[in-house]
Amino acid sequence: MLVAGNWKMFKGPSETVAFFDAFDPPLGVDVVVCPPYVSLARAVGRGVTVYAQNVHWDAEGAYTGEISARMLVELGVEGAIVGHSERRQYFGETDETVARRAEAALDAGLGVIACVGETDDERASGRTEEVLRRQVAVLPRHERLVIAYEPVWAIGTGRTATPAIAQEAHALIKSLHRAPVLYGGSVKPDNAVELMAQTDVDGALVGGASLDPESFRAICVAALV
Ligand code: 13P
């Protein structure tokens, strides 16, 4: 089981230090924390695997605001999220750029958590399978690639997918790709056990509930049940 915390645009360097001072991860579960870029250096070396929230496809170049895989490796960061729905929604991320970011990160020796998931409209109009097939098709086949199924309608809304909905989507993704599949979208300490008990759920990608060391620990413990 893998439990990853995506902090999004929360916690600068000092709050990051405070988190790690208070965070006591359980043994027996792979834990990843994904702080903002400016906080990565403070997170590395605290006994937990650190991933970035994005990564560029080129090693260097004129790409204002971007960070390369090589830079992350130099810092001791071990991987990156790519294709989060917030990047797709607000920053023009496409299936093609997600694939390029994933490939570059894997080539540089990083792990990758690649996010896929349908919007509310896509689910309502019966296009969930088509969307997942399209998003998964571009992802590289690689032993360090993990997929996160994050239905967009469940992110930050408290509207968690039911365990049955998650299981159905995970089974589809696993029929298309060999990677482990994490569930993300309003994962909390009180629903984590049930979600991670599903046959094809291999862990969780946690947003809001990963910001508090106690609730994130509780979700990590839920992965052991
Ligand atoms: P929430 O857990 O806050 O719904 O966020 C999920 C997510 O987007 C993780 O990447």
Q: How far apart are CA 112 and CA 93, in angstroms?
A: 16
Query: Please, are residues 44 and 74 in contact by the beta-carbon 8 Å criterion?
Result: no
Which residue matches tokens 């294709």?
83
| 84 included as an active-site residue | yes
Ligand 1 centre to CA of 157 (Å) is 9
pLDDT band at 59 (very low <50, low <70, confident <90, very high): very high
**What value does the mean pLDDT of the chain take?**
98
Query: Please, are residues 107 and 199 in contact by the beta-carbon 8 Å criterion?
Result: no
- Architecture of the domain defined by 2-222: Alpha-Beta Barrel (3.20)
Q: How far apart are CA 196 and CA 101, in angstroms?
A: 28
Q: How far apart are CA 60 and CA 121, in angstroms?
A: 38
Ligand 1 centre to CA of 12 (Å) is 18
Identify which of 3, 206, 212 to mutate to test ligand 1's pocket (most ligand atoms within 8 A of the CB). Answer: 206
Q: Tell me the pLDDT tens digit for each residue of 96-152.
A: 999 999 999 999 999 999 999 999 999 999 999 999 999 999 999 999 999 999 999
Rg (CA), the chain: 16
Q: How far is CA 157 from CA 164, 188, 191, in A?
A: 18, 12, 14
Q: Tokens for 115? A: 């996010």
Q: Tell me the pLDDT tens digit for each residue of 170-205.
A: 999 999 999 999 999 999 999 999 999 999 999 999
Q: How far apart are CA 119 and CA 113, in angstroms?
A: 19
User: What pTM did the predictor assign?
Assistant: 0.98
Q: Does the beta carbon of 185 sit less than 6 angstroms from any atom of ligand 1?
A: yes
| 150 included as an active-site residue | yes
Burial class (CB in 10 A: 0-12, 13-18, 19+), 61: exposed
> What are the beta bridge partners of residue 33?
5, 50
Q: Does the beta carbon of 150 sit less than 6 angstroms from any atom of ligand 1?
A: yes
pLDDT at 187: 97
